[in-house]
Amino acid sequence: MIAVPLHWRRLWWRGFNQAALLAAEIAGRLELALDTSALVRVRWTAPQTARDHDERRRNVRRAFAVRHAPRVAGRRILLVDDVMTTGATADECARTLIGAGARRVDVFTLARVL
């Protein structure tokens, strides 16, 4: 299980990563391993609010990287995020994880905004 990471500046400003808190709770209840450092946000991105799908996709393009490829290679990953609107962030995270060798990426979100 991997949570969608925040950029270090946003994490510092906010003080917590809501997706990571959600993932920790789920991982504990399902007795799954949670990896908090394999996927990292390597580029700061502007907030996604008030952007359409194409703008959101461009905004998060190449914003993530896999720091520890052996931890994801050949594995089925459950990616956790708090809210999904267009799916651009989850898509980019999944693309990055699969590019590093993940066998499959499933996404869990607490809320879906249409």
Percentage of residues in the chain having pLDDT higher than 70: 96
Tell me the mean pLDDT in the region 31-60: 83
pLDDT tens-digit readout, 70-92: 999 999 999 999 988 888 899 99
Residue type, 44: W
pLDDT tens-digit readout, 15-24: 899 999 999 9
Residue 30 phi/psi, 5-degree rounding, is -95, 0
Q: Which domains are delineated in the chain? A: 2-112 (3.40.50)
As a whole number, the mean pLDDT across the chain is 90
pLDDT given at position 18: 93
Confidence band of 46 (pLDDT split at 50, 70, 90): low
